[in-house]
């Protein structure tokens, strides 16, 4: 006989065929904050310690966050109410979680850097399928992700030290699980906000053996930019559609079909340049989940997909010479993946699997570049032409095996390895990994991870705009992580985590030394080769998460970290290196009320700033006319970080309300981004003037977004 925890209990009763009002049930459950907290603790305790619990469900990896869904045994969990009510722009999936410990991001972009890793070193998957560059508005610092937060049922973020089933990524894992569709009546949601229009519908078929869901967004980000006073002539448009259908084939097999499509276009015209771009993503995949027995399960994923990049335009950089760019790039892939799990008892489990992905890419790039350079003691205009058009093909495959054991009740260990092979780069790698969870007491857990991780260059990832046409060798990193978690009864969960990611093999790459948005990054004056051979990211994260007592939710974290690349004998900080980062999130949901108010404050050290120098020279044109020219030069790369931008500060607030009606539920929100209108520069612009023989330099901050109000409404019926 199971023992029930003390506290309020909610009993739901309905006649056969009746629909339970889950919203009313949720409100009833929230009437007792102590009960909700006790239930969370009970679920976590069962996942860690109960005899007979499936060993595969125990979280052994430090830095694991479970989001949206109920507690999964993860060290820290944020529920749907917390995520949706957090201040965020565009109801965006990535922006809603960007303030977790160890994450850093800018104001314009939705993408985030996990513990200093490159953006493309984050493995993103949706229902078992890897997504490539899952962002809208790539010319605008990846302004939004291509998946609406309302389409997600659960999110698992692993910041480092992830286990062997994930390959070809150096940094971290973000696994997204879509909402399971209803299998009874049709339910529809319509929404509108300052940034987009939303539609979602779901229902059942085949006598409730199957369900379907369709979600679509149409965005108009230009309105939000006008409210922020940064419209210029920018005219971005984007749209995405996600559809899924599930069907219970038999008692042991479930099949699901998924499709994700996204597109965006942007036109941008200013005095010194213009750009027209179009990007597209299309994915289709089938998943088959099979329960062969009570101890043996498998998942099979078959997929196809394609991506498209198109850019064309011109830019005038400093001189009167105008540079032009035309680019067309596309990428197609197929894939087959299978994962198996055998769990015969509470002391042993074995997972294994593999995947194969044939891929092809096409590059068509043409550019006429002009820039001023210093030759000897003379300033000259250097004009170059880049023209590349070629195909690339190859196959990427990998296999893994990972046994997990619990030799004693307080210890769980997983030791795994994977083998990866990438044909176009000739990369072949073996990656051993180990993860351990030690239960030090009823409230204290220690987690450790160590392993080797490799990442081959993407088939579509050549920097042809900089003249690179050959694939480099894979990046290789070693992770070492230690995390200690302690629960303070029903009050809070605290965690401290130390990590080191040593990049022992790193490809050189071209970067921009300034942190502002680049319409044509390859044409900018700050474009430079980062000839790194290795790198390192180290840090200590302290975090605490309140357990929602009396309707008050809160979380706070502080991170002390560094991330550098080794160039020759110099350690160069990466552009988003933040030695000190603080996040504070709080929300209040009064009992018996449909209102919720949330605030989010963050502060971090200023990003590294590139040195800048100026040269003055008298030039003579073809007609014999003399003119005085000022040449602005950024770098060198090894001096990046000699100065830093000022400290960054921002406060966001959001007010939400749900209203039950006879025809469904209305939800409202009002959001104020950067409520204090703090000026946070992403870089500095320099204006030079000559007075007689004196050069006067004025430094002006390139400010990020200022105060930006937004609002939205949705109706579920």
Residue 3 resides in a domain: no
Q: So what's the pLDDT on residue 109? A: 86
Assigned domain for 388 exists? yes
Count the alpha carbons within 13 Å of 527 in the hemisphere toward its beta carbon.
Answer: 16
Is residue 87 within 8 A of residue 654, CB to CB? The reply is yes
Instruction: Classify the phi-psi angles of 52: left when phi > 0, otherwise alpha if psi is within -120 to 50, otherwise beta.
Output: left
pLDDT band at 141 (very low <50, low <70, confident <90, very high): confident
Residue 12 located in a structural domain: no
Evaluate whether residue 65 is within a structural domain: yes
Q: What pLDDT score does 517 carry? A: 76
Is residue 85 a part of any domain in this protein? yes
In a domain, 681, yes or no: yes
Give the residue with greater pLDDT, 205 vs 48: 205
Q: Is the pLDDT of residue 35 over 60?
A: no
Domain membership flag for residue 345: yes
- How far is the first Cα of the chain from the last one, in angstroms, to the nearest whole number? 41
Q: What does the pLDDT read at residue 258?
A: 98
Residue-wise pLDDT tens digits, 592-626: 888 999 999 999 999 999 999 888 877 665 555 66
What is the average per-residue pLDDT within 293-314?
95
Give the integer Cα–Cα distance in Å for 59 and 37. 20
Judged by average pLDDT, the poorest of 403-407, 439-443, 463-467, 489-493 is: 489-493
Q: Pseudo-torsion of CA 526, 529, 534, 540, nearest 10°?
A: 10
Residue 10 lies in a domain: no
Taking all residues of the chain, what is their mean pLDDT, rounded to a whole number? 85
User: pLDDT grade, residue 12 (50/70/90)?
Assistant: very low
pLDDT at 705 over 90: no
Rounded to whole angstroms, how far apart are CA atoms 64 and 536?
Answer: 21
Going from the C-alpha of 617 to that of each of 170, 375, 524, 620, 626, the distances in angstroms are 46, 11, 21, 10, 10
SS3 340: strand
pLDDT > 70? residue 75: no
Residues 6+ apart with CB under 8 A from 655: 595, 596, 597, 598, 669, 670, 671
pTM for this prediction: 0.87
pLDDT for 38 equals: 36
Residue 72 DSSP code: -
CA distance 355 to 420: 10
What is the pLDDT at residue 270? 65
**CB within 8 Å of 251: residues ≥ 6 apart:** none
Full residue range of the structural domain in which residue 704 is found: 22-616+631-716
Class of residue 692 by CB neighbours under 10 A (exposed 0-12, middle 13-18, buried 19+): exposed
Q: Cβ(546)–Cβ(554) under 8 Å?
A: yes
Nearest Cα to Cα of residue 167 among 445, 33, 21, 356: 356
Provide the domain count of the chain. 1
**What single string gives the DSSP state of each residue in 640-695?**
TTSEEPPPEEEEEEEEEEEEEETTEEEEEEEEEETTT----EEEEEEEEEEETTEE
User: Percent of the chain scored above 70 by pLDDT?
Assistant: 86
163-175: pLDDT as tens digits: 999 999 999 999 9
| Mean pLDDT in residue range 279-308 | 97
Lowest mean pLDDT among 190-204, 212-226, 331-345, 500-514: 212-226
Q: What is the pLDDT of residue 16?
A: 34
User: Tokens representing 501?
Assistant: 């990611």
At 651, which CATH number?
2.40.170.20
Rounded to an integer, the average pLDDT of 666-676 is 93
Q: Which residues of 410-447 are buried (b: 16+ CB within 10 A; e: fewer)?
A: eebbbbbbbebbbbbbebebebebbbbbbbeeeeebbb
Model confidence pLDDT, tens digit, residues 222-270: 666 666 555 566 778 899 999 999 999 888 999 999 999 999 998 877 6
If pLDDT is split at 50, 70 and 90, which confidence band does 520 have? confident
Say if residue 15's pLDDT is above 60: no
């Amino acid at each position: 006989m199971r023992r029930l925890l003390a506290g309020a209990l909610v009993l739901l009763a309905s006649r056969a065929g009746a629909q339970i009002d889950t919203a009313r049930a949720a409100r009833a459950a929230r009437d007792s904050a102590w009960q909700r907290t006790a239930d969370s603790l009970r679920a976590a305790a069962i996942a860690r310690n109960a005899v007979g619990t499936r060993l595969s469900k125990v979280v052994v990896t430090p830095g694991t966050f479970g989001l949206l869904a109920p507690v999964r045994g993860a060290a820290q969990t944020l529920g749907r109410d917390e995520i949706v009510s957090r201040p965020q722009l565009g109801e965006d999936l990535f922006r809603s979680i960007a303030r977790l410990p160890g994450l850093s991001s800018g104001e314009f972009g939705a993408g985030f850097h996990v513990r200093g890793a490159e953006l493309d070193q984050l493995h993103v998957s949706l229902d078992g399928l890897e997504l490539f560059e899952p962002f809208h508005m790539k010319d605008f610092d990846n302004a939004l992700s291509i998946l609406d937060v309302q389409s997600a049922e659960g999110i698992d973020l692993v910041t480092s030290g992830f286990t062997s089933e994930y390959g070809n990524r150096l940094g971290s894992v973000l696994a997204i699980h879509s909402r399971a569709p209803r299998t009874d009546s049709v339910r529809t949601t319509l929404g509108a906000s300052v940034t987009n229009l939303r539609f979602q519908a779901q229902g059942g078929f085949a006598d409730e053996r199957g369900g379907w869901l369709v979600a679509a967004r149409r965005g108009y980000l230009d309105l939000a930019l006008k409210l922020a006073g940064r419209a210029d002539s920018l005219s971005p448009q984007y749209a995405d559609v996600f559809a899924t259908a599930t069907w219970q084939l038999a008692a042991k097999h479930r099949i699901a079909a998924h499709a994700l499509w996204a597109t965006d276009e942007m036109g941008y015209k200013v005095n010194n340049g213009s750009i027209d771009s179009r990007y597209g993503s299309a994915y289709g995949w089938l998943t088959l989940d099979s329960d062969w027995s009570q101890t043996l399960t498998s998942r099979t994923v078959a997929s196809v997909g394609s991506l498209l990049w198109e850019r064309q335009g011109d830019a005038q950089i400093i001189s009167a010479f105008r540079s032009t760019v035309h680019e067309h790039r596309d990428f197609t892939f197929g894939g087959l993946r299978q994962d198996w799990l055998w769990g015969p008892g509470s002391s042993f489990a074995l997972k294994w699997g593999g995947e194969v992905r044939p891929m092809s890419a096409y590059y068509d790039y043409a550019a006429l570049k002009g820039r001023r350079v210093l030759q000897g003691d003379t300033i000259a205009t250097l004009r170059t032409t880049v023209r590349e058009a070629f195909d690339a093909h190859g196959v990427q495959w990998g296999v893994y095996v990972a046994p997990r054991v619990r030799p004693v009740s307080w210890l769980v260990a997983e030791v795994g390895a994977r083998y990866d092979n990438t044909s176009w780069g000739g990369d072949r790698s073996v990656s051993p990994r180990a993860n351990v969870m030690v239960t030090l007491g009823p409230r204290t857990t220690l987690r450790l991870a160590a392993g080797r991780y490799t990442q081959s260059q993407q088939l579509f990832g050549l920097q042809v705009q900089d003249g690179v046409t050959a694939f480099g060798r894979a990046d290789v990193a070693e992770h070492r992580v230690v995390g200690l978690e302690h629960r303070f009864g029903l009050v809070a969960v605290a965690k401290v985590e130390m990590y080191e990611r040593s990049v022992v093999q790193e490809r050189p790459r071209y970067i921009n030394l300034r942190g502002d948005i680049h319409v044509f990054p390859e044409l900018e004056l700050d474009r430079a080769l980062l000839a790194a051979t290795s790198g390192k990211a180290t840090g200590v994260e302290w975090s605490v998460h309140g357990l929602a007592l009396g309707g008050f939710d809160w979380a706070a974290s502080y991170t002390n970290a560094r991330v550098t690349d080794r160039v020759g004998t110099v350690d160069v900080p990466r552009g988003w290196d933040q030695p000190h980062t603080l996040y504070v999130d709080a929300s209040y949901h009064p009992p018996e009320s449909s209102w919720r108010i949330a605030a989010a404050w963050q502060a971090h050290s200023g990003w590294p700033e590139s040195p800048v120098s100026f040269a003055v020279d008298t030039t003579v044109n073809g007609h014999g006319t003399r003119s005085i020219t000022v040449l602005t030069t950024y770098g060198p790369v090894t001096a990046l970080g000699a100065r830093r931008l000022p400290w960054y500060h921002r406060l966001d607030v959001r007010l939400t309300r749900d209203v039950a009606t006879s025809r469904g539920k209305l939800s409202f929100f009002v959001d104020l981004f950067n409520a204090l209108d703090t000026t946070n520069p992403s870089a500095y612009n320099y204006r030079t003037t000559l007075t007689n023989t004196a050069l006067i330099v004025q430094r002006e901050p390139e400010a990020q977004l200022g105060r930006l109000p937004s609002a939205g409404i949705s109706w579920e019926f």
